[in-house]
Structure 1
Amino acid sequence: MTSTDVHTDRRLGWALLAAAIAQIAAPVVQALADVSQPGDGSDDLLITPAGWAFSIWSLIYGLALAHAVVTLWKGDGVGSRRFVGDFIALYLGAAVWIAVSAAGISWATFLVLAFMTVVAIDAARLAARARLHDPAWTTWLARATSGVYAGWVSAAVFLNLGTGVIELDLAQPAQHGWQLALLAGAALFALGVNAQLPRSPFYAAAVVWALIGIIASVAGESTLALVIAIVAIVLLVVQTVWQSKRALAD
Structure 2
Amino acid sequence: MNRALALICFVAAVAFAISPLLTPGFNGFSPDQFPVPQVDPPIQPAGWAFSIWGLIYAWLILGTGFGLLKRAEDASWAPHRLPLAISLVLGTGWLPLAVISPVWATVLIWIMLATALWALRACTTSDRWLQQAPIAIYAGWLTAASVVALMLCLAGYDIGLGMTGWGWIGLALATGLAVTVQRLSPHAPEYGLTVIWALTGVIAANWGDWLFVLGAVLGLGIVGWAIIATRQERG
Structures share fold, TM-score greater than 0.5:
yes
The 1:237/1:37 distance shift into structure 2, 3 A limit, reads closer
- Is 1:96 the counterpart of 2:85? The answer is no
Segments of structure 1 that go 5 or more residues without pairing to the other structure are none
Aligned with 1:234: secondary structure?
helix
1:115 partner amino acid: I
* 1:241 pairs with 2:228: yes
Contact kept in structure 1, 2:66 and 2:130, CA below 8 Å: no
Contact conserved, 1:218 with 1:225, CA < 8 A, in 2? yes
Counterpart for residue 19 of structure 1: 12
Return 5+ residue gaps in structure 2 as ranges: 32-37
Partners of 2:134 and 2:103 in 1: how far apart?
Answer: 27
CA distance in 2, matches of 1:30, 1:72: 29
- 1:29 match: 22
- In structure 2, relative to structure 1, the CA distance for the partners of 1:52 and 1:43 (3 Å cut) is farther
How far did residue 139 of structure 1 move? 2.1
Distance 2:233 2:185 in 1: 12
CA distance 1:146–1:43, change in 2 (3 Å): farther
**Aligned residue number for residue 203 of structure 1:** 191
Indicate the residue corresponding to 1:187 in structure 2: 175
Are the equivalent residues in 1 in contact too, given 2:120–2:136 (CA < 8 A)? Answer: yes
Partner amino acid for 1:186? A
Q: Residue by residue, what CA displacement relative to the aligned partner does 1:126-165 show, whole Å, maximum 9, x if unpaired?
A: 22xx2x43xxxx2222221111011111111111012212
- The aligned residue for residue 67 of structure 1 is 63
Partners in 1 of 2:134 and 2:83 — Cα distance? 12
Q: CA RMSD in A?
A: 2.0
The one-letter amino acid of 2:231's match is S
Q: Under a length normalisation based on structure 2, what TM-score does the superposition of the two structures give?
A: 0.89
Tell me if structure 1 keeps the 8 A contact 2:155–2:166.
no
1:46 aligns with 2:42: yes
Q: Tell me the TM-score normalized by structure 1.
A: 0.84
Deviation at 1:178, TM superposition (A): 2.8
